[in-house]
Amino acid sequence: MAENKRAPGGGNTPKPGGNTPKAGVSAKDRSRQQSRPVSAKAPAKKSGPAKGGRGGGAARPPVKGKADARPKGPSGALMAWGAVAVVIVVVVVLVVVKVTSGGPASAAFTPVTPAPTGVVSAVTNIPESVYNQVGVTSSVQVSPPLSLSNQPILMLDGKPGMLYVGGEFCPYCAAERWAIVSSLSRFGTFSGLKVTASSKTDVYPNTNTFSFQGSTYTSPYVTFQAVEQVSNIPNGQGYYKPLDQITKAQQDILNKYEQPPLDPNATAGQFGYPFVDIGNQATITGPSYSPGILAGLSHSEIANGLSDPSNPVTQAIVATSNYISASICASTKNQPASVCQSSGVQAAAKSLASTAK
């Protein structure tokens, strides 16, 4: 604290060469000439214009008087720039280590394997009572699809259509697939379903799910097209290896329904997974529920819980499924009635109607 009292007072009083502050250039020159021999003891370090411009240190008696009592040590500036250099080196080392480290190991992803029969059976045969009991009531927050109005019904292969675009790595897609499989199974039949898990390194890692890649779906009411654009296998460049190619017609659908104004939450030019167009009557452009509720649960554990309407995971999946079913029913003219007139789907339809734009 002593320095605080000293410095300003001393500084204001004895200006360098400063007994004649308006001495002009000649006075400065004289000062420089006088100070040159003095400052020669440490000429190189005094690089700042704050020092040289004032005529050197010789003309600062009060300030220097106390300062000279201080032991000389490493330059403060040297230490400071050393600290900056250390930080830069640390960051550079981190980046270099990251860049030069090998690509992800082959075990850095969950392989895609045929879905166990028991899992498929449990998901595609959820009791009607569970659908109706849950309706859209869930202890886990469930977001309804974005309900559209005045849009022509999406027709695919002569039937009302549903388009899914996603990626196997995507945890939000992982959560959504459980509801998509269960809902579509009320309108038709899946075959060739596979199981996998979302990326091990993304958010909600290892969320167990299905993969639509290579599966087929048949229904007298609705055509389902699924595009798994990328796998869950890291490509070594921060993303994942490609899988299905999207067709131009499918991309046109994304360009219209996953972009403003029909998707008011979207950013123009940006696309995300999952995207589900349900007959142009509703779209899903993000997770209907948090994949976090599936954390640590195996395929079998999730599937076996689907007969329990009090299970929070079941509630989230079934409520989402009812929303999807209600949206499908909006494009199939409420066919089949056994599904579309069920109380669970009706509850979802009522909820969607209240949010329609």
Give me the residues that bind another protein (CB under 8 A), please: 1, 3-5, 7-8, 10-12, 42, 45-46, 48-51, 53-54, 57, 60, 63-64, 66-68, 70, 72-81, 83-84, 87, 90-91, 94-95, 98, 165-167, 169-173, 201-203, 229, 237-239, 265-266, 270-274, 285-287
Rank residues 27 and 271 by Cβ distance to another protein and give the closer one.
Answer: 271
Rank residues 343 and 355 by Cβ distance to another protein and give the closer one.
Answer: 355
DSSP class of residue 284 equals E
At closest approach, how far in Å is the CB of 57 from another protein?
A: 5
Rank residues 103 and 114 by Cβ distance to another protein and give the closer one.
Answer: 103
> Which is nearest to 308 in space by CA: 104, 122, 64, 121?
122
Rank residues 56 and 305 by Cβ distance to another protein and give the closer one.
Answer: 56
At closest approach, how far in Å is the CB of 273 from another protein?
A: 4
Rank residues 98 and 248 by Cβ distance to another protein and give the closer one.
Answer: 98
CB 195 within 8 A of CB 211: yes
5 phi, psi to nearest 5 deg: -75, -30
At closest approach, how far in Å is the CB of 67 from another protein?
A: 4
Rank residues 50 and 107 by Cβ distance to another protein and give the closer one.
Answer: 50
At closest approach, how far in Å is the CB of 180 from another protein?
A: 15
At closest approach, how far in Å is the CB of 324 from another protein?
A: 17
Rank residues 183 and 285 by Cβ distance to another protein and give the closer one.
Answer: 285
**Bond from prior residue into 21 cis (ω within 30 degrees of 0):** no
Rank residues 249 and 295 by Cβ distance to another protein and give the closer one.
Answer: 295
180: Cβ contacts below 8 Å, ≥ 6 apart: 164, 276, 321, 324
At closest approach, how far in Å is the CB of 9 from another protein?
A: 9
Number of residues written out for the chain: 357
> Which is nearest to 151 in space by CA: 261, 68, 239, 64?
261
- What whole-number distance in Å separates Cα of residue 274 and Cα of residue 167? 7
- Please list, residue by residue across 129-156, b when 16 or more beta carbons sit within 10 angstroms of its beta carbon and e when fewer do: ebbbbbbbebebebebbbbbeebeebeb
162: Cβ contacts below 8 Å, ≥ 6 apart: 154, 156, 184, 222, 223, 224, 225, 276, 277, 278, 279, 328
At closest approach, how far in Å is the CB of 314 from another protein?
A: 22
79 phi, psi to nearest 5 deg: -65, -40
At closest approach, how far in Å is the CB of 262 from another protein?
A: 14
257: Cβ contacts below 8 Å, ≥ 6 apart: 148, 263, 275, 277, 280, 283
- What whole-number distance in Å separates Cα of residue 144 and Cα of residue 135? 12
